[in-house]
Every structure is written in C-alpha cells, then in structure tokens.
Amino acid sequence: MGLILDTSILIASERRRESVGEILSRVRALHGEIDIALSAVSVVELTHGIYRARNDADRERRRVFSQGIFQDIIVHPVSLEIAQLAGKVEGEQAAQGVAIAFEDLVIGATALHLGFDVATLNVKHFQLIPGLKIVTL
C-alpha cells in the first residue's frame, strides 16, 4: 500500500515553508510507514509554478523546494497502462456526464494502477474517480 501526493498537498507545504523531510514525517505520522510517491503530472504542475512566480526570490524558493521533492520522492511516469486506465475512467465518467480535470484524472489513474490512495486538498475533483481512496493530511 502507498500514497500518491497530489500537487495541492505539495503547494500548501511549500507555502508553509515545510521541507521535504517535514512533509514525509507528517505523512508517516498519520499513515505509518507506507510508500510515498508522485505522478509525473505533479512534476509538470510544480515546474509550471516555478516559471509562473512573480519574482526571482519566489522562483528560486520554488525551484529549490521542487528539486528536493523530485530528489526525495519517487515519481511515477505515465505508462501505457496508466494512460489506458485514465482513458477508461474518463470515458466511463463522460458517458455519465461527469467531467474530470485531466491533471487529476492522470494523478488518480496513477494511484489506482499502483493500488495507492491519493492525499489531496482537492477532494471534490478526486472523488469523481470511481474506486479511488482519498485521504487528507
């Protein structure tokens, strides 16, 4: 069992000036010694945040934070199987009139494929993915 951290958790942690070690300690204090990972989509979102920063100090702080995240937390790529699962979930939900944001869809499909839960501050979006267990920190 494991946990995929949604980008919302990471952004909130960066804003609180938490280190990667503090994030991992908090997760393990709440959920025990589990595997903690990211979807490659979170790499895109965090990198976007670096280049979107309003000033050099914020950009550098975000860059350092992101580098620590990428170094200390496993990043799962979007494999063929994850992409197919995301397409299946999206198609089935669209057939019922439910739209899921692409980023959340792929993060959720990554978790489902691995048999992991998702830790997020964005429960509303992730609860649209059937079978996905959502936790908050």
pLDDT score for 136: 87
pLDDT score for 137: 81
Place of tokens 């048999």: 115
- Give how far Cα 29 sits from Cα of 18, 64, 103, 124, 137, Å: 15, 25, 27, 25, 10
pLDDT score for 1: 83
What average pLDDT does range 41-52 have in this prediction? 97
DSSP-based helix, strand, coil % in the chain, nearest 5: 60, 10, 25
C-beta of residue 26 within 8 angstroms of C-beta of residue 137? yes
Domain boundaries, the chain: 2-135
Model confidence over 63-109: pLDDT tens digits?
A: 999 999 999 999 999 999 999 999 999 999 999 999 999 999 999 99
Confidence band, pLDDT 50/70/90 cuts, at residue 38: very high
What's the CATH architecture for 2-135? 3-Layer(aba) Sandwich (3.40)
